[in-house]
Structures are given as structure tokens and as C-alpha cells.
Amino acid sequence: MIAILATVFAALAALLHVYIFVMESVQWTQPKIWKRFGVADQASADITKPLAYNQGFYNLFLAIGTTIGIVLFWAGGDGAGAAAGKTLVLFSLGSMVAASLVLLTSGKGYGRAALTQGTLPLIGFVLFAFA
């Protein structure tokens, strides 16, 4: 049962990070997106587009790592594949949590974003640690 809950939270964390990737790497210059990230105006969004594009891919790679880890965990049975999958999931989710902590240290205005970005991976990490 813990493994199923861990998988659900890890998958939700991966989906959230894919969504963040889309916002940062695909939709960045749309006003509703850059405003969500606290960017002041369209000119600033245009200037920061390469940075956001790059950052979005970090989020995508963490989501991919989590997804591959989940697949390996469930397909690996009781062997090395499951252990490798669990390790990959824990690393990816741990990186998501660490990134949310870095965001939290970026300023007072980032608390909500850090909480949004870090809660699902933190829950998934704790559950996966015991799965």
C-alpha cells in the first residue's frame, strides 16, 4: 500500500514538473505566464526567456528521471531493477525538494511557489523511502 501511495505522489510531482517545464520553456513570453512568475513586463520576459527555457528543461529532466524510476521500480520485481528504480525516484524527488528549498531562499515572495513545487515530491520521497 505504501508503494502505491508513493507512486501516486511521485507521479503527481513528475506531472507538476512537466507543467512547470511547459510554462518556462514553451509559454514563457505569454503575459499570464510571466506574471505568474513575478516578471515585471513583456520586455523583461523577453530578456529572461533563455534563462527560463533552460530552467524549464531542468524540471523536465527531473520529471523524466522520476518516471523512469517508477517504471523500473515496478518492473524490477525484487531485484536490482527495483532497487535502481527506487534510487532514481529518490534522487529525482530529492532534487525537486532541494530546488524548492533554494527557491524558498530566493526571497519572501517565493514561499507559495516553493511550497507548491516541493510538497508533492517531499511526500513522495518520504513514502518511497519506506516502500
Q: Could you write out the DSSP letters of every residue in 87-98? A: HHHHHHHHHHHH
pLDDT in tens, 65-80: 999 999 999 998 889 9
Cα 17 to Cα 43, 53, 61, 117: the distances in Å are 26, 14, 9, 8
Range of the domain at 118: 2-130
Give the number of other CB atoms < 10 A from CB of residue 17: 29
Average pLDDT over every residue of 73-98 = 95
Contacts of 14 (CB under 8 A, 6+ apart): 62, 63, 64, 66, 67, 70, 92
pLDDT in tens, 94-130: 999 999 999 999 988 899 999 999 999 999 999 999 9
Give the pLDDT of residue 78: 86
Number of domains in the chain: 1
